[in-house]
Structure 1
Amino acid sequence: MDEDTRRKTLIMAENGVFDGLINSNLQMFPKVEELIDYGFKFYKDCDSFDLYIPGQHIDQFLSSNLWQLMQVKRVTFYFDSANNILKVQQNLSQISSKFIFCLKAEVENRIRNNFDSGVLNSSKPLDSSCLSSMLENRKRQVQMKQKNLGLHEFSISSQPCVGFNAGNINSIKQIYQCRSCSYILRDPVQLPCGHRLCKTCVENYNGSSVICSECHEETVKQELNRFEMEAHYLTQEHQLAIINCIRNLLNIRINGHFENESEIILRKLQKVYETIDILVDGIQTLNNDVERHSNESRERQELIENLTRTISLLKLTCTKSNSSINEMKIQQEILLHAIESIRQKLEHTQVPSYDGIFIWKIINVQEKMMDAQSERQTSIYSPPFYSSRTGYKMCARLHLNGVDDGQGTHMSLFLVLMKGNHDGMLSWPFNFRIIFNLYDQTDKKQHIIDTFRPDVRSSSFQRPRSEMNIASGIPKFCPLAIIEQANNRYVRDNSMYIKIMVDFSEIPNDVLPFASNLNPGLSAHRQHELIQNEIDNIHRAQQIINTTNVQNISQTIVDSYL
């Protein structure tokens, strides 16, 4: 699509009002809905739209939002009378600067002027076809005006229909511009309101009156002095102007500087030719610039397309990279679990206890507590230990956030019987009392001690048929409120110690504190000796107390008989 076809004028004209307008870039529509549909359908194929809408269809047009498109450069609302313009102009002008208001009689002139200025201002070279098109358009305009005014045909060289157009018209003061065609005044006529129009623009108004496009004041044509030429010639002002002109001519002749008119014309033509040569060179330069810019634009477009393809490839690569990263994260989690499992197995392969006493050190207590609370890992197992070298195999299971009745309030501690190599030699069910001891790591040694005796009817204490039986123990071993206190005595350096004892000798409850306070550095045999000595001391003390009590009772009885 070339530059001209990318500029469209769309008119909503009922009953063929503007049938005299003919141009390839002009499109007429009998209904405003059809104009709106066309604009939304083809706006991407055009650089600009000029729209002409009847005043009675303003609301319907504004609700479509077609005027908000970037390609819509100007919207002209035309009315039958100036009073209708005044009613809507003030409100709509505040909505958009694209809106223009005019009388219906001015529409045809405005459209034709736009076509002519489009040809003159086009960036294409001004060749013969462009000039022919402009002249043909002007000829049709003159013929239509003759037809409307009932005049005989006259040559295109007769008086022009509009003012002078110029490339720098925007920099010219408005007092020198016609209020109807917006061009430089040609044969200006001043209205009583003070505004000026071209003579031909005044003649183009149908009827006997002229309406000012600026202030909409109506003036009868006969009241315009510009048309009373014969009377003007007889005025003193005109006579004085002629006298001054004659005096100037006489002064030139008298001073010997009067030159032949033909020489003056030739000299002026020479200047015109020089100007034309400059313009031709400028046009050639502009054409070269246009071609250069076109090549640069094409190169930039190719660069944009390459960048677009590169960005698409980068997006695809990023998507694949993200997928790979997600897979690596999953594999990393699997590896971390495997490492943790291996670490636990290594802990289990350490030298176990073979005397029924096991001290379990639990590290990273805070992290394990958070894992338990978030249910990532609700429980942990101790390394296995044995009641003897050929005895029962077992381990402890700790729920830091509790389980069953103790969930969320207490730590839960259980014993788990495991499948051992000597189970066939042992007595079943397992029925020895278990002692749990949470160490107080301060000098006060206020350990938390609790015991439970196995339920021989439970499957948890029968001979294991799988790797380990179901855990059984104390759901409410230690309140979480104690463990969660800052600087509590049971968790130091983020570690705590739990002692598990299998009570083969039925240690009395009043001896348990003594047994718990024994130095863990002593051998198991020495610890059992000390415990047994303590039991014996307690028995002897109890016997002494019992003997003393018997003697006292006997003495009391004897005294009572005496």
Structure 2
Amino acid sequence: MTDVSPNNTSNSSRGTVYENGVIPVLDARFECPICLNCLKDPILTTCGHRFCKECIHGWLKHTGGSCPLDGQSLSWENDLFPDNYTRREISQQRVQCPVEDCTEILPLIDAEYHVANCHQTNEPTNLQCTFSNVGCDFIPSSMNHLKTHLEKELHNHLALITAVCSGLTNRIAGSSYNNSLKSKAEESKFWDPKPKDQNDSTKPEGNNLQQLIRDLFEKVVLLEQKNREQEIQLQTLQQQTTKLVTVNKQLTSDLSLRICNGEYIWSIPDFPTKLDQMRAETGTMFYSPGFYTSYCGYRFCARINLNFKDPNYLTLNVHLMQGDNDCALEWPFSGRISLILIHPTDPNQSIRETMMSKPRLEAFKRPTAIINPRAFGYAEFISVTCTEQYLKNDSLTVKIQIKTV
């Protein structure tokens, strides 16, 4: 596991920022590698790592029993021991509350709880549902409230979008139909016979024929004008319909990337041709679409290319991308990332690699561009010669799973 562009600068300024202060940075000895908070009921493993009791138990329950740092197999009964020495060290640490005008001296382990529960933090105001423009009148009280609403009301939001699209289609169809009726009514007026004139019989027959020809010519010109107007209206409606179809496809595509909950299957078609391109042009890379860890969560994409030092291996990495709600998220990103190369016939031969984020690296800080130039992943994920057995119809399939911690 490698960081493609490691950052040599220290990340010692990291902390939980509040309205009036910052909780001091934890000593590395007192930080849980899973939750990145102060150790609670510290547990020491046989491989020499410390975790919160609740964190390591939950980790082993969901991952099948391996250390999140070095992958060594661990059992609850034989490999986990209470670390009473570290517990005493933590209990002796004291810090002053970072909130202005608060002079309370607190145990280190209770500092975050004290600030979060005893000092009111700022919440965004004037929040509204993302789907308010299509009829949702829900008013959230906080970002967490909004997030819960978006996750629970997904089907209702889709129904609102469908109703709006159907309404637009009906309005267009109704407008076309009404215009057609109106134009037909106007055309019929052109053919209404003129009232008979009692004196017409006294007019020469030649004059009557010339008048009839002029009247018919005027009616032909008017009909041609109306026909041209209808053609223009039809072209306009066709353009509007095409635009609506494009918007609907884009909305459907974006929605699938938002609600995948950090689990995206990237199918790379015509992979042998792409492999030839990467061999022919050094530096050629292919990126997946950007997908989200949750509807309002972090946005990631995957990248595949030949290893710059040894082109006999494929490199597989992930990048953070700018999302719509980055200002409401916690940075740097903290979570677990799994990269899986899917075998088309035998799931047991699929290659799976799991890694934990490292907040001190630039790759996990808030992106300042559309895509963070720093990536995180595996420089030698698989040998190029081994990729043939993972192809199905010349397509390579990669599954990316990203879960926040």
TM-score, normalised by the number of residues in structure 1: 0.26
**Which structure's relative contact order is higher, taking Cα pairs within 8 Å and 6+ residues apart?**
2
Q: Pick the structure with more helix per residue.
A: 1
Name which one, 1 or 2, has greater alpha-carbon Rg.
1
